[in-house]
Amino acid sequence: MTNRRTFLKQSGSLVLGGLAFGQGLASFYEKKPHYDLGVQLFTLMAVIDNDTRGALQQLAALGYKNIESAFSRQGGFYGRTAREFAAMLKEMGLAWRAHHVIGAPFKLPPGTKMPTDDQGNPIQLPPMRNLKENMQEIVDEVAEGGIEYLVCANIPTNTPEEVGEAVEILTKTGEACEKAGLQLAYHNHDWEFRKVGDSTPYEVFLSQVPPNLMKMELDLAWTAKAGIDPVALFKEHPGRFPLWHVKDISADMLMLKPVGQGVLDFKRLFKHAKMAGLRYPFIEHDMPEDGMASLSASIAYLKKHILK
Q: How many CB atoms lie within 10 A of CB 236?
A: 10
Give CA separation, 169 vs 41, 70, 205, in Å.
25, 20, 11
Per-residue pLDDT of the chain (308 residues; tens, 9 = 90+): 444 444 334 434 433 344 344 444 444 445 788 999 999 999 999 999 999 999 999 999 999 999 999 989 899 999 999 999 999 999 999 999 999 999 998 676 666 666 676 777 776 766 789 999 999 999 999 999 999 999 999 999 999 999 999 999 999 999 999 999 999 999 999 999 999 999 999 999 999 999 999 999 999 999 999 999 999 999 999 999 999 999 999 999 999 999 999 999 999 999 999 999 999 999 999 999 999 999 999 999 999 999 98
What does pTM read for this prediction? 0.87
Backbone angles phi, psi at 72, to 5 degrees: -130, 140
Q: Give kind and range of the element (H or E) at residue 40.
A: strand 38-40
CA distance 127 to 295: 28
Q: Give kind and range of the element (H or E) at residue 249.
A: strand 248-249
Q: How many residues does the chain have?
A: 308
Q: How many CB atoms lie within 10 A of CB 95?
A: 18
| Sequence-distant (≥ 6) Cβ neighbours of residue 83 within 8 angstroms | 144, 145
